[in-house]
Amino acid sequence: MAKPKVNTMEELSLAIGVSRPTLSRYFQDPASVRDSTVKKIQRGLEDVDYVPNFFATRLNRKSTGLIGVIIPHLNDLFFTSLLEVIQQSARAQGYTVITQSSHGDADLEQHAAGKLMSMNADGVIVAPLGEGSSARTFERLMTSMPLVFVDSHLPDALPGVPFVGTDNTQSISLILDYLCQAGESPLFLGMPKLNSNAMDREAAYLAEMEKRGLRSEIVPGSSQTAGWEFEAYAHDLMDEHFSNGRFRTGTLLCANDRLAIGALRAANRHRLFNRSGGLRIAGHDDHPLSRFMTPSLTTVKQQIDRIGEEAVSILAGLISDGRPSLEAKETRMFETTLRVRESA
Amino acid sequence: MAKPKVNTMEELSLAIGVSRPTLSRYFQDPASVRDSTVKKIQRGLEDVDYVPNFFATRLNRKSTGLIGVIIPHLNDLFFTSLLEVIQQSARAQGYTVITQSSHGDADLEQHAAGKLMSMNADGVIVAPLGEGSSARTFERLMTSMPLVFVDSHLPDALPGVPFVGTDNTQSISLILDYLCQAGESPLFLGMPKLNSNAMDREAAYLAEMEKRGLRSEIVPGSSQTAGWEFEAYAHDLMDEHFSNGRFRTGTLLCANDRLAIGALRAANRHRLFNRSGGLRIAGHDDHPLSRFMTPSLTTVKQQIDRIGEEAVSILAGLISDGRPSLEAKETRMFETTLRVRESA
């Protein structure tokens, strides 16, 4: 039998015999109500169909219990994996996540930030667009709520905003050591210069090659301005190089797995894996589909779980301290591990 | 120079010289304020840094302007593509989307529905878990707000809830015609029996094969209970069959592209594409990465844009009519188009 529907706090008060102010205190902070009354309310709630209004129960609190997340794109399994971790970690701490995608557009990123401000979110975790971002968007956001950057950051523009991500120097060094030990030293296929990872991974490649006394080479064209369609970008670029007889042997290190998936496809079309002494390709991230590619993709695995959990944990700390940001720049960078598969 | 920060309606009233009640009317319905006053307010807003509180400006409205979306998983590029369309379409109509993932779990699906009820969302678009869903979750949701099912639906349980998706009979018929014309008639690799698409596509395969006088065969094991890790599920299942000498030639039609990506990988490991008269594999959906597979995947393309836009449009209609559901069951089903590539 369906339970009787109760729509308002007044009706609930009548239905379970506890005064409205006491109910109100219970929903805002159960610890402020006597244990025997808590039990009476909990027993009563089991017998009716009542949903407390999310905002009404929070109108008198400082906190809305909302955490905003802004990511550049939803159609990217790296970001959705991170988002799943953030959602689960936030839910475990009693927060509700509001996700906004900036769809690769600085105006929409600003719009998303404004929306989260107008909703009085308690704090925001942002994987910024990067070069396309307006620093002003986040300076303004910081006047309203604490902010944590995840995955990539805005270099120097916003001191005091914590950053949680991958240690790109460690990850590039790790994959270079493996590639150089097992064969020729690699060329580098960079991401379009969209965010700090694009800059940091290319810089790490150049520095680590020099440290090893090896000649570095960046695949031409990879520095061009381009969008977030990484597979298509890498496929089209490498298809053109391969068609012109360039880079058909040797080793190619890609700045992320989505690029490597596009490069693998171009290499397969040119049958570059079928010969001995053929091409080797490696990626970065351990994208969920990288092990299903042919050849399966050799890469380094980011610790997405720890990155997402740490971002939520730092943000929750700032929220409970009532602080908009840290006094000093703080970065938490996690190491990667090698995933050796068939492609290199 | 930074604009002066204005935090409250009172401060805004002082800053731009328009009374607080008039400002309030402007934010709730600009058409209720004289044109000259609208212009004065708009000019004033340009000179200050003010974000109207999302909920405060809506407290006296029936509408919160929030649309909820519940999907089974974020780590699925089909669902994220749909979500991108829904977000863009909803934003164009002035709605803000709150996305909740049920992470493949009926309790979390119920939790997500409860959250959207407590936030007083104006309506909800749901891609239900399917077999795992509790019909009670949605019966209860419908007492509070209109509901539209997208991609899959709960069969018969909830009459009056509109459904927008793909015409699985058309899509299966289209790919069967192509496969049968170009070679042997296909076996069918079904999705785990999670939702209505799993049932409908398998039923469509059986009916369309019979209609053509062809012998149908479902790949054993595909009916087993399994989760949403479709690539791994199909890979492991087909790897076992191939290892035991089964299904190594002929044609395999997969119920979706994520299954086909797993099956392709298993077939590549067994080198089943390298011989003449070798295996053919086809999928369903036109997953964003299907064209980057090797061999690239032959499939049928769902009209995700139209499905997402139609779901928002129907929901917006129910919201503005103040109706919780339609009197009669209504389904809008879109046709697919063929994408012939290398795998079949």
Query: B165-168 long-range CB contacts below 8 Å, 24 or more apart?
Result: B165/B197, B165/B307, B165/B331, B165/B332, B165/B333, B165/B334, B166/B197, B166/B302, B166/B303, B166/B307, B166/B333, B166/B334, B166/B335, B166/B336, B167/B333, B167/B334, B167/B335, B167/B336, B168/B197, B168/B200, B168/B201, B168/B204
Distance (Å) from the C-alpha of residue A179 to the closest C-alpha of chain B? Answer: 23
Structure tokens at B25: 């009317």
CB atoms A292 and B74 under 8 Å: no
Averaged pLDDT of chain A? 88
pLDDT tens digits for range A304-318: 999 999 999 999 999
Nearest in space to B194 (alpha carbons), one of B122, B108, B255: B255
Q: CA separation (Å) from B152 to B73, B78, B109, B126, B199?
A: 13, 13, 15, 9, 10
Q: Assess whether B43 and B106 both reside in one domain.
A: no
Q: Are A172 and A201 in contact (CB under 8 A)?
A: yes
A142 lies in the same domain as A250: no
- Tally Cβ neighbours within 10 Å of residue A2: 9
Q: Hey, which residues does B71 pair with through a beta bridge?
A: B101
Buried b / exposed e along B205-232 (16+ C-beta atoms within 10 A)? beebbeeeeeebeebebbeeebebbbbb
Same-domain pairing of B188 and B255: yes
Question: What band does B269 get if pLDDT is binned at 50, 70 and 90?
Answer: very high
Three-class SS state of A124: strand
Q: Which residues contact A210 (CB under 8 A, 6 or more apart)?
A: A216
Shared-domain flag, residues A150 and A238: no
Question: What span, in angstroms and rounded, lies between the C-alpha atoms of A145 and A324?
Answer: 6
Say if CB B267 and CB B242 are below 8 A apart.
yes
Which CA distances in Å does A70 have to A77, A97, A100, B335?
15, 10, 5, 34
CB pairs under 8 A between A and B: 99
**Residue A2 covered by a domain:** no
Q: Rounded CA gap, A174 and A178, in Å? A: 6
Residue A174 falls inside a structural domain: yes
Contact call for residues A124 and A64 (beta carbons, < 8 A): no
With tokens 């192509």, the residue in question is B178
Nearest CA in chain A to B74: A80
DSSP line for A185-227: PPEEEPPPS-SHHHHHHHHHHHHHHHHTT----BPTTTTS---
d(CA B25, CA B33): 7
Instruction: Give the three-state DSSP class for A127.
Output: coil
Mean of per-residue pLDDT scores for chain B: 88
**Does residue B322 belong to any structural domain of this protein?**
yes
* Domain-embedded: residue A204: yes
The pLDDT assigned to B22 comes to 87
Give the Cα separation of B74 and A99 in Å (integer): 12
Q: Is residue A51 pLDDT above 90, yes or no? A: no
Q: Calculate mean pLDDT across residues B159-186.
A: 93
- Percent over 90 (pLDDT), chain A: 56
* Whole-number pLDDT of residue A28: 66
B1 vs A206 pLDDT, higher one: A206
pLDDT at B224 over 80: no
Tell whether B150 is covered by a domain: yes
Which residue from A minimizes the CA distance to B101?
A: A84
Find the residue in B nearest to A83 (Cα): B74
A81 interaction partners in chain B (CB closer than 8 Å): 75
Residues of B with CB under 8 A from a CB of A: 5, 49, 51-55, 74-75, 77, 80-81, 83-84, 87-88, 96, 98-99, 101, 103, 114-115, 117-120, 140, 143-144, 231, 235, 261-262, 264-265, 268, 288-289, 291-294, 296
Beta bridge partners of B96: B66
The range of the structural domain enclosing residue A316 comes to 66-165+305-334
B52 contacts on A by Cβ (under 8 Å): 118
Q: A185 and A157, same structural domain?
A: no
Q: Are residues A172 and A161 in the same domain?
A: no
Residue A102 contacts residue A71 (beta carbons within 8 Å): yes
If asked whether residues A178 and A275 sit together in one domain, one would say yes
Residues of chain A in Cβ contact (below 8 Å) with chain B? 5, 49, 51-55, 74-75, 77, 80-81, 83-84, 87-88, 96, 98-99, 101, 103, 114-115, 117-120, 140, 143-144, 231, 235, 261-262, 264-265, 268, 288-289, 291-294, 296
CB B143 within 8 A of CB B308: no
Determine, yes or no, domain membership for B340.
no
* A89 within some domain: yes
- Lookup: tokens for B326: 């339609």
Domain-embedded: residue B239: yes
Distances (CA, A) of A188 to A131, A221, B1, B138, B333: 21, 11, 42, 51, 46
Residue with the larger pLDDT of the pair A176 and A321: A176
Q: Which residue of A has its CA nearest to B112?
A: A96
Q: Is A198 in the same domain as A277? A: yes
Provide the pLDDT confidence category of residue A303 given band limits of 50, 70 and 90: very high
State whether A119 and B293 contact (CB < 8 Å). no
Structural tokens at position B187 = 């076996």
With CA atoms as reference, report the closest residue to A95 among A128, A72, A66.
Answer: A66
- CATH code of the domain covering residue A266: 3.40.50.2300
Rounded to the nearest 10°, the torsion over CA A34, A40, A45, A47 is 180
**Gyration radius of chain A's alpha carbons:** 25
Q: Is A118 close to B80, i.e. CB distance below 8 A?
A: no
**Quick one: pLDDT band at residue B159, thresholds 50, 70, 90?**
confident
Residues B205 and B80 grouped into a single domain: no
Stated length of chain A: 344
Query: For residue A288, which residues of chain B lie inside 8 Å, CB to CB?
Result: 75, 231
Rounded CA-CA distance A285/A304 in Å is 9
Residue A326 has pLDDT above 90, yes or no: no
Chain-chain contact of B98 with A103 (C-beta, under 8 angstroms)? no
* A43: confidence class by pLDDT, cuts 50, 70, 90: confident
3-state secondary structure of B281: strand
Residue B120 has pLDDT above 60, yes or no: yes
User: Which of B87, B96, B231 is the closest to A292 by Cβ?
Assistant: B231
Of B53, B144, B289, the CB nearest to A289: B289
Contact A264 B292 (CB under 8 A): yes
Could you tell me what percentage of chain A is helix, strand and coil, using 3-state DSSP and rounding each to the nearest 5?
A: 45, 15, 40
Q: Judge: B75–A80 Cβ closer than 8 Å, yes or no.
A: yes
pLDDT at residue number A4? 78
More confident: A11 or A290: A290
- The C-alpha atoms of residue B18 and residue B27 are separated, in whole angstroms, by 13
User: How far off is chain A from B328, nearest CA to CA, in Å?
Assistant: 24
Could you tell me which chain B residue has the CA closest to the CA of A291? B265
Asked whether residue A161 falls in the same domain as residue A309, the answer is: yes
How large is the average pLDDT for residues A330-336?
A: 93
Question: Reduced to 3 states, what is the DSSP secondary structure of residue B144?
Answer: coil
Q: How many angstroms away from the CA of A213 is the closest CA of chain B?
A: 36
Please state whether the peptide bond connecting residue A155 to the residue before it is cis, i.e. omega within 30 degrees of 0. no
pLDDT computed for residue A6 by the predictor:
79
For residues A176 and A273, membership in a common domain is answered with: yes
Q: Is the model more confident about B189 or about A8?
A: B189
Contact A300, A337 (CB under 8 A): yes
Residue A326 and residue A240 share a domain: no
The model's confidence at residue A120, banded by pLDDT at 50, 70 and 90, is confident
How sure is the predictor about B225, in pLDDT bands with cuts at 50, 70 and 90?
Answer: low
Mean pLDDT of B317-325: 83
pLDDT (0 to 100) of residue B210? 96
Count of domains for chain B: 3
Element (DSSP H or E) covering residue A252: strand A251-254
| Distances in whole angstroms, Cα of residue A134 to Cα of each of A33, A70, A128, A130, B122 | 47, 14, 10, 8, 32
Report residue B331: phi and psi, to 5°.
Answer: -125, 140
- Which chain A positions have a beta carbon within 8 Å of B296's beta carbon? 265
Q: CA Rg, chain B, in Å?
A: 25
Measured at the CA of A80, the angle between CA B147 and CA A311, to 5 degrees, comes to 115
B232, pLDDT greater than 90: yes
List pLDDT tens digits, range B20-70. Answer: 888 877 776 677 788 888 888 888 888 887 776 666 655 555 678 899 999
* Percent of chain A residues topping a pLDDT of 70: 91
Instruction: Look at strands B280-282 and B337-339 and give their pairing.
Output: unpaired
Lowest average pLDDT, out of A170-174, B194-198, B252-256, goes to: B194-198
**Is A268's CB within 8 Å of B5's CB?**
no
